[in-house]
Amino acid sequence: MDHADARQPDPELLRLGERLKKTREYLGMSQQYVAHNTGIPRTAVSDIERGNRRVDSLELKKLAKLYSLPVSYLLDEHDDADVGEHALAGLPRALAGLTDSDKAQVLEFAEYLRFKRLAQQADRDDDPETQR
C-alpha cells in the first residue's frame, strides 16, 4: 500500500460523519451545543462529522441519545437508511413493562397515525394543484 492510499478516508467513517452532520443540522443544533450536551469536545465533533476521527461506542450512544435516534440507524451501512425501520426494531423493548391498557393505547395511536397519513394522501390526490 502506498502512502496516498494510507491517507484515504475510511468510507464508513465518512458515511457516519455525514449522517451525524445532516442530523445535527436538521435538528438545528450547533457543534458547540452538541459538545456541551454530550461532553465530546467541539473539535472532536467536527472531526467525527468530517470522517477524520473514529467515534467510540460511548460517544455514539451520547450522540444517538441527544438526536433521539437508534444507534443502529447511525451505523447502518446503507446511504438510504430509514430511521423508521430502526425505530420499529426497538419497539418490543419500548413496550416491555407496559400494562395491557398502555399497549392498547400504543396500538390505537399507531392506527390513528396510519389513518391520518391515508387521509393526507387522499387530500393530496384530490387536490388539483398537486396533480399538475
Reading the chain (132 residues) residue by residue, the pLDDT tens digits are 444 445 677 888 999 999 999 999 999 999 999 999 999 999 999 999 999 999 999 999 999 999 988 888 888 876 776 666 666 656 676 778 889 999 899 889 888 888 888 888 888 777 766 555
Cell of 39: 461532553
Per-residue confidence (pLDDT) for residue 6, from 0 to 100: 56
Residues 39 and 100 in one domain: no
CA distance readout (Å), 89 to 39, 59, 67, 70, 106: 28, 22, 17, 9, 15
**Distance, CA of 27 to CA of 33 (rounded, Å):** 11
Q: How many domains does the structure of the chain reveal?
A: 2
Domain ranges, residue 102 = 90-132
Statement to judge: residues 76 and 111 lie in one domain: no
